[in-house]
């Protein structure tokens, strides 16, 4: 009995570490949450700020006064294969930004103008590639806030639960532990 207890005691920490490592390796990235107030001012040229993940991906910023009374913020996000954009919501205070020129575009694999101005643009937009938002305003009050939300979901082809799905590594680790336990039990009996 002592021999069996010692073997399990030595095996348990290794099994727990293996399961934790596999769970961390298969964890999905979180949706983008970018704020100019926290993450820094967006430049006047489109810069990729991240890859969209399932959920609400929110980018917030603000227009500040400049000597010529205009301000522009540009950014790009990437959509990976297996995901789709269900809708894009662009919002800003129309009373604080009298002249706003905003637009959302898909820039790759092919150019597609999705919409301009404030509002909700309904998808689905399924082509993997880069999406760009151009947030430009003139005749603005200082620190006029704006936001762009990409509502993203996984496509049906990325659901691992289908009949031909590949088991996740956590399930494989559990099955491996069960087989190791059976082997240890068989060895003890022999």
Kindly tell me the number of DSSP H helices and DSSP E strands found in the chain: 3, 10
Residue 84: inside a domain? no
Those residues of the chain that have pLDDT short of 70 are 1-28, 67, 139, 157-172, 190
Task: Evaluate whether residue 110 is within a structural domain.
Answer: yes
* 68: containing domain: 36-77+94-147
Confirm whether 66 is domain-assigned.
yes
| Tokens of residue 19, six digits | 């399961």
Whole-number pLDDT of residue 10: 52
What distance in Å separates the CA atoms of residue 105 and residue 151, rounded to the nearest whole number?
Answer: 15
Cα–Cα distance measured from residue 164 to residue 166, given in angstroms and rounded to the nearest whole number: 7
Whether the pTM exceeds 0.75: the reply is: no
Is residue 44 in some structural domain? yes
Asked if residue 92 lies in contact with residue 144, where contact means CB atoms within 8 angstroms, the answer is yes
Helix (H, G, I), strand (E, B) or coil at 24: helix
Domain for residue 164, yes or no? no
Domain count within the chain: 1
Per the domain annotation, does 56 fall within a domain? yes
User: How far apart are alpha carbons 13 and 5 in whole angstroms?
Assistant: 13
Q: How far is residue 45's CA from residue 43's CA, in Å, rounded to a whole number?
A: 5
In a domain, 119, yes or no: yes
Cα R_g (the chain), whole angstroms:
25
- Give residue 101's pLDDT: 79
- Exposed, middle or buried, 43 (CB in 10 Å: 0-12/13-18/19+)? exposed
CB distance 122 to 87 below 8 Å: yes
What's the pLDDT tens digit per position in 80-118? 999 999 999 999 887 777 777 788 999 888 888 888 888
What local confidence, expressed as pLDDT, does residue 118 receive?
86
Tell me if 169 is assigned to some domain: no
- pLDDT at res. 156: 74
Dump strand ranges (E) for 141-176.
144-154
């Amino acid at each position: 009995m002592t021999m069996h207890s010692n073997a399990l005691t030595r095996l348990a920490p290794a099994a727990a570490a293996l399961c934790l490592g596999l769970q961390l390796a298969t964890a999905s990235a979180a949706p983008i949450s970018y704020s100019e107030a926290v993450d820094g001012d967006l430049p006047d040229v489109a810069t990729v700020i991240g890859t969209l993940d399932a959920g609400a991906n929110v980018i917030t910023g603000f227009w500040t006064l400049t000597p010529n009374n205009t301000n522009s913020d540009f950014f790009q996000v990437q959509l990976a294969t297996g995901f789709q954009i269900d809708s894009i919501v662009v919002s800003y205070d129309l009373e604080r930004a009298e002249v706003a020129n905003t637009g959302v575009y898909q820039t790759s694999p092919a150019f597609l103008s999705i919409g301009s101005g404030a509002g909700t643009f309904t998808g689905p937009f399924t082509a993997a590639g880069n999406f760009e938002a151009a947030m430009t305003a003139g005749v603005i009050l200082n620190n006029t806030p704006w936001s762009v939300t990409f509502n993203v979901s996984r496509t049906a082809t990325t659901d691992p639960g289908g009949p031909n799905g590949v088991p996740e590594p956590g399930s494989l680790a559990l099955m491996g532990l069960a087989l190791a336990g059976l082997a240890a039990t068989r060895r003890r009996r022999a």
